[in-house]
Structure 1
Amino acid sequence: MARRMDARTLGIGMLIGAAIGAGAALLLAPASGEDTRRLLRRNARRLYNKGSDAVADLAEDTERTARRLAQRGLKRSRRLVDEARDSVGW
């Protein structure tokens, strides 16, 4: 069964693809070695920052989802305990 890709996964994949494409373009460009290294450093820094932001967003989303699932589990557990108490006459 194929997994659904969400927008974030697609965006991260696109960023990685863009970075690889940009790196290849810079390496094949007719610029001086110093100019090429400067562009590579700048683009690497930009990609690192975007990746860090994406990871931070993903961590926040994961934490939010985990909290929501834990709350649902607690509610369900409480309901089951109440039902069990009712069934034994507590």
Structure 2
Amino acid sequence: MSKGARRRPPLSPREAWISDGRQVLHFRPTLWDRWSQRLEITSGELLPDQPVPLLKRRWELSREEALRLWAEKRQQGWQPCEPQWLPPPAPAER
């Protein structure tokens, strides 16, 4: 595998988590087709007396915007981390 291939972002959707020890961001693909890729970003605040972060905000970004946000946070010292809360349940089928 070439050096550039390892640095290239994945082409398929993946969930990812990143934290600075005080805050956490969850990146989750919501729309992924040939013409449009979007990710939902959920932010949370880590509280010392709580087992899971306090959910603060949720918004949606294009794949390019999400990659820029991830790179910006990594430059600021944020590190990938384990999942911090369970995903929302899938909608029930009728």
Greater helix fraction, Structure 1 or Structure 2: 1
Q: Which has the larger radius of gyration?
A: 1
- Give the TM interval when normalised to the shorter protein: under 0.3
Q: Under a length normalisation based on structure 1, what TM-score does the superposition of the two structures give?
A: 0.26
